[in-house]
Chains A and B, each alone.
Chain A
Amino acid sequence: MVVNFNYMNILINNSRCTRQIYATPPGDLAIWFFIFAELLAFGIFFVAYAFARAHNVALFDESQQHLNRTSGAINTLVLITGSYFMVRAVESIKQGYANQCARWIGAAIGFGALFLLIKSFEFYSKFSDGITLSTNTFYMFYLSLTIFHFMHVILGMVILVAVMIKAKQGGYSAENHTGVETGAAYWHMVDLLWIILFPLIYVIH
């Protein structure tokens, strides 16, 4: 056994791929409890949608036909790209490049704004057609889920603006950048939720 352990240690020490395993996720631990609470809330909402549909398949499938799937797909690409920009922001600050980090955060905020713009056009089109929460059960779910998510995008952007301002002022460094990671974690959660919401509401029937 001793020999085996030594052998393993040599393997681990020689491997260039080895990384430290952290006890907690990146960023402030508090944001992760917030994220898990959000996942739970949205998760219940997603499952409720699926079971509500099971009781009225024809209505849900017919109503889904009127959604703008192209706009939903473009918005998925927009959120994923915004998320990627936050990954780059974290990568930048880990190397000590605060200005570069702030620019990547700015790009992520810009893509958040683009998402809100596209989604607003979608809402405008639905509201112009006279669709409200009480039109039918499908639209009740579609509107409340996407508006609930919309508000999370806004909150994510507010957090990112605060982080970007601090980054610009030199508040983060290669050694101390928990704030950037905290903002990034929340921003990725907004993306992660949309990754399930889009196929669930717009595609699967």
Chain B
Amino acid sequence: MNKLIRPSTLIWLVLMLLTVATYAIGEAGVGGTAMMLTVLGIAVLKVQMVANYFMELRHTRWLWRGIVLGWLVSVTGLIAIAYLTTIK
């Protein structure tokens, strides 16, 4: 492998950084819609990275990636809606 860094190592590093970002947002003590959407957005990105790169779904038919993406969008979308209903 003549690449500077293994693709899987790069994905791992980005996943670690995104986790630290989520933690930092939590520690900042801020709440509200923007925080909720940012943290959920980071989670969506991370799940997609794990599914497509770690679980290697990117080399498979769209069907398999679609099932995971459909699940992800439904679950995080409903979570976001539940939170938005509490904003007065």
> Within the complex, which residue of B46, B47, B60, B75 is in contact with A25, where a contact is CB–CB below 8 Å?
B60
Is the Cβ of B19 less than 8 Å from the Cβ of A77? yes
> Within the complex, which residue of B54, B56, B71, B82 is in contact with A43, where a contact is CB–CB below 8 Å?
B71
Does A39 count as interface, using CB distance less than 8 angstroms?
Answer: yes
Is the Cβ of A73 less than 8 Å from the Cβ of B75? no
Cβ of A25: which chain B residues have Cβ within 8 Å of it?
A: 55-57, 60, 64
Q: For residue B26, give the distance in angstroms from its CB to the closest CB of chain A.
A: 4
* B:1-46 near A, CB below 8 Å: 6, 8-9, 11-12, 15-16, 19-20, 22-23, 25-27, 31, 35-36, 39-40, 42-43, 46
Tally of chain B residues near chain A (CB < 8 A): 46
| Chain A contact patch, size range | 35 or more
Is the Cβ of A43 less than 8 Å from the Cβ of B75? yes
Contact mask for chain A residues 61-75; partner B; CB cutoff 8 A; 1 contact, 0 none: 100000001100100
CB nearest neighbor in B for A40: B71
Q: With the chains together, A57 CA to B31 CA distance in Å? A: 12
**Chief secondary structure at chain B's binding surface:** helix
What are 10 A-B pairs at a CB distance below 8 A?
A: A23-B61, A26-B59, A46-B79, A51-B78, A76-B23, A189-B55, A198-B22, A199-B22, A202-B26, A203-B23
Known: A80-B12, A188-B51. 18 other contacts (CB 8 A): A21-B59, A46-B79, A47-B78, A51-B82, A73-B19, A76-B19, A83-B50, A83-B54, A87-B8, A88-B8, A90-B56, A184-B55, A185-B55, A199-B22, A203-B23, A203-B25, A203-B39, A204-B40
* Interface residue ranges, B against A (CB under 8 Å): 6, 8-9, 11-12, 15-16, 19-20, 22-23, 25-27, 31, 35-36, 39-40, 42-43, 46-47, 50-51, 53-57, 59-61, 64, 67-68, 71, 74-76, 78-79, 82-83, 85-86
